[in-house]
Chains A and B, each alone.
Chain A
Amino acid sequence: MSKKKSFTLGELPGAKIWTLAFFIYLYAPMVVLVVYSFNENRRVMNWTGFSLDWYAKAFANDNIQRAAWNSLMIALVATVCAVTIATLAALILGRRNNFRGKDTSTGLISLPLVVPEIATAVATLCFFAVVGIQLGLISVIIAHTVFCIPFAFLPIRARLEGMDDTLEQASRDLYANDWQTFRYVTLPLLMPGIFAGAMLSFIISIDDFIITLMVAGAGSTTLPLYIYGMIRRGITPEVNVISTVMLAISIVFITAYWLLTRRQSVTTH
């Protein structure tokens, strides 16, 4: 790297500034959103002073509390269901084995990722109408479980694929039965993947809007639905407050996920 030093494609002309602009574009809207949540004025874009009043107001609002509680519970139940189903499936599909139907099964599990959300939403609505399941919490939880499965499945399978099976074999050599091997060897090794899958499912569920919009019924308003209702009605800093809280939740979870998978890749290498 002597005379060719002038040629550094890695520093494509302006790539640095471009990247900087990119990150500004990516984050500026969120910063604006957060900043204006501290506006005291009812007209959100009319800055008149710093205030925490809208936070106090939002946190004291019964309907917001109820929506938050709904969101949390739906996400929790859907995550538990999705992770259980995904773990079972990953234990079969994540091993280096081949059997008839393996590709089909993997394809089926990724189906919710492929189908456009709005199509899933209206199809699920029609299904509930045909089967006669009332729209409400149950219908929302079912729908969320379905589209959380692939998000739970992928990290768990990745973890399994990266795991070597010497420990499991050692366990069997020591006359542990299958269940004991699973419980005391496989599962602990798999845990980071399961946690990662749970984080993703949780975020995906708590953020979901379109499917929830179509299949929600009495008493199952979630935070995103509540925010949507508020936006349509006219915007106040209160919308920014809830939005900021939702951003914070997502960022905390995705950071946890990030740290988890990074530690995982460090330990496997």
Chain B
Amino acid sequence: MNLPQNPATRRFLGLLPAWLVIGIFMVMPMMILLVFSFMESDPYGGVDPGFTIEAYRQILFDLNFDDELEFDPVYLIIIGRSILLALIAVFGCLIFGFPVAYYITRQERRVQNMLLYLVTIPFWTNLLVRTYAWILILSGDGVIEQPLKSLGIIENSLEMMYTNGAVATGLVYSYLPLMVLPIYASLEKLDFRLVEAAHDLYASRFQAFKQVIVPLAKPGIIAGCILVFVPSVGAFIAPDLLGGGKKLMLGSLIHLQFASSRNWPFGGAIAMLLLAFVMIALLWQLRSARKRMEESG
């Protein structure tokens, strides 16, 4: 068997399947969704021909039942909640994950590998299953409340399920490994003699931390924040299972439009909005990475 000699032909043939598959089944669907978001919705599902920006207008201004256009904050609230919960998840992961990443880098190689393995396992296990586990923990007869009740410490349920707090807990839990790993990766390269040098120069522990460790860990922290933010802001499972269906986030709002409300253009418009948020986050990361590159020359 002979392979094509010309490197350009070879490149073309090697990349063609990937281009085709992702182009047809990923890029084209995105285009179609974009087009759908400018069409009219069919009340029974699907779209009707005709160009309209109603789906986008609806996000901010809605026709009320007197057929007047009025400012309507409902969807802004959902957007706000999504961003807020995603930021809480980012912050929670950072607080919880940073010391752990730091601790891991300070271990000997073998222990490091072991700990990293333990951090990655949950990431690769089923998200639905892991979120379900939290129902067992937070619910009224779950593993937290049951002992408290039988010891007589509490009488009534703590009502932890179906709250924003439950959703945030689920989000932090879901994406924690995504924070620890990049921070570890950047701290791993840290030369701890720098820290000792800082201390020799009579920097306090806090100063050494602030002046030496944080700047070095910054690329990892930024990467971790983005990695946690992106899936959190479009989360569907955590708000659905832990939020009781009344704390919608962008992900659940989109799902609702396709799964039962049958308003495809509106669902498409929200999906485009979500995509825009994600792109902004990614561009921000790219820009700060580029700036660092320039700074370090």
Residues of A within 8 A of B (CB): 4, 7, 9-12, 14-16, 18-19, 22-23, 25-30, 32-33, 36, 43-46, 84-86, 88-89, 91-93, 99, 101, 105, 108-109, 111-112, 114-127, 129-130, 142-143, 145-146, 149, 177-179, 182, 203, 207, 209-210, 214, 224, 227-228, 231, 235, 239-240, 243, 246-247, 250-251, 253-255, 258, 262
Interface of B is mostly: helix
B32 touches A127 (CB 8 A): yes
Known: A88-B18, A149-B21, A207-B124. 17 other contacts (CB 8 A): A10-B102, A10-B103, A29-B130, A29-B134, A30-B130, A33-B136, A93-B15, A118-B255, A119-B274, A120-B26, A120-B29, A123-B32, A126-B29, A209-B128, A240-B136, A247-B126, A251-B121
Instruction: Answer whether residue B36 sits at the interface, using C-beta atoms and an 8 A cutoff.
Output: yes
Q: Can you list 17 A-B contacts (CB < 8 A)?
A: A7-B199, A15-B102, A22-B100, A32-B137, A45-B143, A46-B141, A92-B11, A105-B18, A116-B274, A118-B255, A122-B254, A125-B258, A182-B3, A203-B124, A207-B125, A247-B125, A250-B126
Task: Report which residue of A9, A10, A15, A253 has the largest number of chain B beta carbons within 10 angstroms of its beta carbon.
Answer: A9
Contacting residue for A108 out of B22, B233, B251, CB 8 A = B22
Min CB distance B65 to A, Å, is 28
| CB-CB nearest in chain A for B4 | A178
Contacting residue for A231 out of B132, B209, B254, B255, CB 8 A = B132
A117 to B234 CA separation, bound complex (whole angstroms): 8
Q: Which 6 A-B pairs have the closest CB atoms?
A: A116-B234, A10-B106, A29-B133, A127-B29, A123-B29, A92-B14
Which residues in B have their C-beta under 8 angstroms from that of A120?
26, 29
A9 to B190 CA separation, bound complex (whole angstroms): 12
| CB-CB nearest in chain A for B233 | A116
Contacting residue for A247 out of B10, B129, B233, B237, CB 8 A = B129
Min CB distance B134 to A, Å, is 6
Which residues in B have their C-beta under 8 angstroms from that of A129?
46
Min CB distance A123 to B, Å, is 4
Which residues in B have their C-beta under 8 angstroms from that of A258?
117, 120
Instruction: Answer whether residue B75 sits at the interface, using C-beta atoms and an 8 A cutoff.
Output: no
Number of chain B residues close to chain A: CB under 8 A: 93
A119 touches B271 (CB 8 A): yes
Instruction: Answer whether residue B87 sits at the interface, using C-beta atoms and an 8 A cutoff.
Output: no
Instruction: Answer whether residue B91 sits at the interface, using C-beta atoms and an 8 A cutoff.
Output: no
Min CB distance B92 to A, Å, is 11
A203 to B126 CA separation, bound complex (whole angstroms): 9
| CB-CB nearest in chain A for B34 | A123
Which residues in B have their C-beta under 8 angstroms from that of A84?
17
A115 with B237, Cβ < 8 A, contacts A122-B254, A127-B28 known: no
B126 touches A246 (CB 8 A): yes
| CB-CB nearest in chain A for B176 | A26
Which residues in A have their C-beta under 8 angstroms from that of B51?
none
| Binary interface encoding of chain B residues 71-105 relative to chain A, with 1 for a CB under 8 A from any of its CBs, else 0 | 00000000000000000000000001101101110
